[in-house]
Amino acid sequence: MPIPPPVLLVCILHLECMNGIKEHIYLKCHSELQDSTTATTYILFSDFKFLFYLDNVQNSKTKNRKALSRLRVSSYRLAIEIGRWHKPNVIPRHERKIPVCSKLEEEFHFLLECPLYSDLRKTYIN
């Protein structure tokens, strides 16, 4: 049974409106992220699309998925984030260093450079 033309037109208009709303939300969020001084790691991954690495993590342990998700959305206890939480005076970004090596404790340094975490890297990163 063919779809009556008025119903088909309503369905097409609905789809077009939904696509327009999605595009508007995407552009607004993307713009706000680019202007943000926080969530620097999230900006790297802010396609708002399914990302390939999630397939690899899907069958992994729950704690690994949680850790990766927290890293992606800047929800962890590295100095780069904790410094934003200090009230009433936020610690300036360039002063959020790790005491061991006096470098900015941000995601890249934490994951790949810091000597404090070298044993963990040997264990978890092949």
Rounded CA-CA distance 89/87 in Å is 5
Sequence length of the chain is 126
Rounded CA-CA distance 46/34 in Å is 10
pLDDT tens over the chain, length 126 residues? 566 666 666 777 777 888 788 777 777 776 776 666 666 666 665 566 666 666 666 555 667 777 777 777 777 788 888 887 888 888 888 898 888 888 988 888 888 888 988 888 888 776
Beta strand ranges found along the chain (DSSP E):
97-98, 103-104
